[in-house]
Amino acid sequence: MQESSDSRLTMPAEADWLDIREGVRRICDGFPNDYWLKLDHASEYPSEFVAALTEAGYLGCLIPEEYGGSGLPLSAGCAVLETIHETGCNAAACHAQMYTMGTVLKHGSEEQKRRYLPDIAAGKLRLQAFGVTEPTTGSDTTQLKTRADKVGNKYVVNGQKVWTSRVQYSDLMLLLARTTPADQVKRRSEGLSVFLVDLREAKDNGVSINKIDAMINHNTCEVFFDNLEVPPDNLIGEEGRGFKYIVDSMNAERILIASESLGDAKFFIRRAAEYAKERVVFGHPIGKNQGVQFPIARAHAQMVAAELLVRKAAALFEAGRDCGAEANMGKMLASEAAWQAGEACMQTFGGFAYAREYGIERKWREARLYQTAPISTNMILAYVGQHVLGMPRSY
Ligand SMILES: Cc1cc2nc3c(=O)[nH]c(=O)nc-3n(C[C@H](O)[C@H](O)[C@H](O)COP(=O)(O)OP(=O)(O)OC[C@H]3O[C@@H](n4cnc5c(N)ncnc54)[C@H](O)[C@@H]3O)c2cc1C
């Protein structure tokens, strides 16, 4: 069993990064529900929103100063994403940059970091696409089928990814592909490699893309690789160690996504409590009824509990300590808290929850995602069962 030894851990206080929260809130105020609704109807990318965040420097906040970013710790990125979601906006169009960048930073060569990170920080290059999931293997990542074979002095990629979000709006894609056949490695996590694919050259030149008609406006696609040539300079780290590199960046990803769920939960709770105080039926505000009030209060308690765990995960991460259990459990609890809050909000708004102009149903659809992606709840429970509680591997 994993020991808990965090008595000396300093957790970021709730009021942390107030200046960042205020700045992000000001930007978000310029992108009200109408803006998101129009994009939702047209299934379009929020280019103006992403540009505003980039210009203000928020999307480069985790990139070290020596590479043109602000060099802030993970909790600052969490504050950015949480605030975006708390205000009713959505960070899914740009959040990937914060966690995919970590793989380049930690495992890329100095030359790669100098080549890409300053332009990413300046908003000249977008690293928003992350190609891991495949249609036939799903959560069983190590079994993925996309191959990158060394032919002469190049890698040649063949295969298919699915649910590759933002790939149509990204210049670069972090790609996980098999470089050594699965039957030639000792452990199934070996023989996979990470590449930085330059989509500007690759689109219609070995890469073709089909947009998926999805329940939310997430710009997510199927990607096909047909003899795509990738120069060896674009291999990140050592060949064959890519799965480890991706896993390395997962704790940051979990904590950042959990922060978005916390923001969603706060959005729903605020909107539900406001409406419950204003809406008068049977001669009194509906919030006077325990049947309306208690689900909102319960959702608040669940959100606060999840928030404590997510903040603990961020504090452990920033202290350079193991945070796998906290990051996973925090992501699970935050996504569930957001969903419970969404349910309470939908019920509180009654029929008006279904009117798109209120922005509740859009958020409800969007918040559901984080129980499935980037990792589904069952896989987190499997992690806790095996790695925290020491039970046998269930899959
Ligand atoms: C909108 C959207 C955006 C996405 N963006 C990206 C992206 O940018 N890049 C990317 O690589 N991926 C992306 N994904 C993919 C996402 O990470 C996967 O959908 C997710 O990891 C689950 O994989 P799957 O859909 O293949 O489900 P499956 O692996 O088929 O699983 C289906 C269900 O079965 C459960 N299950 C499977 N095996 C077990 C087991 N052994 N024990 C218990 N339960 C099990 C799962 O928990 C899940 O509930 C996105 C998905 C969506 C919907």
In order of their start, the domains of the chain are: 18-126 (1.10.540.10), 128-240 (2.40.110.10), 244-388 (1.20.140.10)
Measure the CA–CA gap between 108 and 102, rounded to whole angstroms: 9
Phi-psi region of 159 (alpha: psi -120 to 50; beta: other; left: phi over 0): left
3-state secondary structure of 56: coil
What was the pLDDT predicted at 56? Answer: 96
What was the pLDDT predicted at 204? Answer: 87
What was the pLDDT predicted at 77? Answer: 97
What was the pLDDT predicted at 1? Answer: 42
Residue whose structure tokens are 């009654």:
350
Ligand 1, residue 378: give the atom nearest the CA: 47
What was the pLDDT predicted at 117? Answer: 96
What was the pLDDT predicted at 9? Answer: 72
Ligand 1, residue 220: give the atom nearest the CA: 3
Residues of the chain with pLDDT under 70: 1-8, 11-15
Ligand 1 within 6 A of CB of 393: no
- Residue type at position 63: I
Average pLDDT, the chain: 95
For residue 125, report the distance from its CA to the centre of ligand 1, in Å: 28
For residue 220, report the distance from its CA to the centre of ligand 1, in Å: 13
What was the pLDDT predicted at 8? Answer: 65
What was the pLDDT predicted at 4? Answer: 47
Ligand 1 within 6 A of CB of 376: yes
For residue 130, report the distance from its CA to the centre of ligand 1, in Å: 14
What was the pLDDT predicted at 2? Answer: 45
Ligand 1 within 6 A of CB of 236: no
